[in-house]
Amino acid sequence: MAVHVRDFVVIVRVQAVAQRIKGGLMRIDADAHVDETEATWDYIDKDDELFKPISMPTDGRDLKWCADGIELRRPVRDYLRTGATEATSQLLDVAARLEHLDELRIDVQVLFPTTFIRSRFTGHEELERVLTHSYNRWIAERSALSNGRLRWVAVLPLHNMDEAVNELKWAKEHGAVGVFKKGVECEGRGIADPYFFPLYEAASALDIPICVHTGSEGRSQLSPAALDAVQAFLPIVTSGLVDRFPTLRFGIIEAGVSWVPFLLTNIAARSRGEHMQGITLDNVLSVDVNLLRDSNIFVACQSHEDLAYVMQFGLEDNLIVGTDYTHADQSAELKALDFVEESGQSGVISAEIATKILDDNPRRFFGL
């Protein structure tokens, strides 16, 4: 079989990156995305073809997926703004995506969905099963072409927990490194709802983390969907979830990290109110900076945040960073990893902490 020059260049680049990963530091993009395309739904079984989404125009600039009487968002990208292309954002050309990662000096990129970020499947549970099944097989197949540089997070049919657990087992066997989860979903259930315990038990057994990503059940673009992810934090640390699943890792993704000082000091204030006797200046100011570490909670920071400040709150071993690749909202920054590296070089944070954010922490979180 003939090997084209471009294919040879890609092979050499992949081998060089693999050697660098084997030898030491990885720069890991912990939050990137794909834009679903028609090929995403090619894995729908013939018996389920009535559920296959059809792309249709909207009143605005975007498109929409229509299936089983519901609409799912299909954004139309301004690629000049995102820095990606149709081929790279939709994984139409995996080699081109890897070439772009080379330009960005990203060794490994973890892929999250787009369509499922704002979706509500209440009353359409069978559709959810069909779409998540097809999405996972599409992303697994496309990622497998990257020689380990593109990793992916599974989307599960959470309205049927037995199906969800079975799908998770398949996903883990085929390369998934996380579970996509919203802070509130399945008819308003929060993160600590016992309904999700079978999922957490399975994830613990499979050593795969729960990625609580910004998202909501079909809210408008103007809704603060990031708050659904942030509000997962308190239930995780106060509901007994950590004690029940001590090895399970949770990540709060694309909601930034600036909320951590507020919630930690809020927890400290609650504790003071419960223990007012013998209060001193020291315990008035005390905050449990080990809480995230002890609770196995990881948080994805963003490039506009004050890393020097938030590092005072025990995040050294639990902070990761992502580019939000393909998206163009306030979280998107293709050079986010450079921001962390440069912060380490300039002394804003230590070089050791920068390495942890870029490599050690996401490697541990995703089990790479």
pLDDT attached to residue 265: 85
How many domains would you assign to the chain? 1
Please give the backbone phi and psi of residue 87, each rounded to the nearest 5 degrees, phi first.
Answer: -65, -35
Point out the least confidently predicted range of 14-23, 57-66, 249-258. Answer: 14-23
Residue 309 lies in a domain: yes
Pull the structure tokens for residue 212: 């609580």
Residues 63, 64, 65, 67, Cα dihedral to 10°? -140
As given in the structure block, the two tokens for residue 223 are 């809704």
Distance (Å, rounded) from C-alpha 242 to C-alpha 61? Answer: 43
pLDDT at 284 exceeding the cut of 50? no
DSSP-derived pairing of the beta strands 63-67 and 54-57:
antiparallel
Query: What percent of the chain has pLDDT above 90?
Result: 68
Q: What is the mean pLDDT of residues 213-242?
A: 76
Contacts of 235 (CB under 8 A, 6+ apart): 190, 191, 192, 241
User: What CATH number is given to the structural domain containing 130?
Assistant: 3.20.20.140
Check whether 280 has a pLDDT greater than 50.
no
Taking Cα atoms as reference points, which of 231, 230, 235 lies closest to residue 253?
230
Residue-level pLDDT at 62: 87
CA-closest candidate to residue 182, choices 134, 219, 129: 219
Residue 246 included in any domain = yes
pLDDT at 60: 83
Provide the pLDDT for residue 68.
Answer: 93
Has residue 266 got a pLDDT over 60?
yes
Residue 154 covered by a domain:
yes
Q: Is residue 185 part of a domain?
A: yes
Residue 68 lies in a domain: no
Q: Is residue 70 part of a domain?
A: no
Side-chain half-sphere of 32: how many Cα atoms within 13 Å? 35
Task: List strands edge to edge, sheet with 319-321.
Answer: 28-33, 108-112, 150-154, 176-181, 210-213, 250-253, 297-301, 319-321
Domain hosting residue 282, numbered range: 23-51+91-366
Q: What is the pLDDT of residue 331?
A: 74
Which of 92, 250, 85, 89 lies closest to 180 in space, CA to CA? 250
| Stretch 22-28: mean pLDDT | 77
Average per-residue pLDDT in the chain? 88
pLDDT at 272: 59
228-261 pLDDT per residue, tens: 788 889 899 889 999 999 999 999 999 899 999 8
What is the pLDDT at residue 245?
Answer: 97
Segment among 168-172, 175-179, 239-243 with least mean pLDDT: 239-243
Helix, strand or coil, per DSSP, at residue 157: coil
How far apart CA 19 and CA 107 sit, in angstroms, is 11
In this prediction, residue 222 has a pLDDT band, given cuts at 50, 70 and 90, of: very low
Contacts (Cβ under 8 Å, ≥6 apart) of 329: none
Q: How confident is the model at residue 267 (pLDDT cuts 50, 70, 90)?
A: confident
What is the reported pLDDT for 22? 52
pLDDT at 214 over 90: no
Quick: pLDDT tens for 123-143. Answer: 899 999 999 999 999 999 999
Q: Are strands 319-321 and 54-57 parallel, antiparallel or unpaired?
A: unpaired
Evaluate if residue 283 carries a pLDDT over 80. no
Strand partners, 63: 57, 74
Query: Six-digit token pair at 266?
Result: 């809020």
Q: Which two tokens stand for residue 54?
A: 């059809």
Task: Write the DSSP string, 233-260.
Answer: HHHHHHSSHHHHSTT--EEEESS-STHH
Rounded average pLDDT over 100-113: 97
pLDDT at 51 over 80: yes
Length of the chain measured in residues: 368
Largest CA distance in the chain: 79
3-state SS class at 321: strand
Any domain includes 85: no
Judged against a pLDDT cut of 70, whether residue 217 lies above it is answered with yes
Residues 296-319 pLDDT 10s = 999 999 988 999 999 989 899 999
Provide the strand spans (E) within the chain.
28-33, 54-57, 63-67, 70-74, 108-112, 150-154, 176-181, 210-213, 250-253, 297-301, 319-321
Contact between residue 174 and residue 122 where contact means Cβ atoms under 8 Å apart: no
For residues 115 and 64, the answer to whether their CB atoms sit within 8 Å is no
Extended beta strands in 68-161, E state: 70-74, 108-112, 150-154
> Residue 285's pLDDT is what?
46
CB contact at 8 A, 331 and 229: no
- Asked whether residue 335 is assigned to any structural domain, the reply reads yes
Q: What local confidence, expressed as pLDDT, does residue 335 receive?
A: 94
Average pLDDT (165-187) is 96
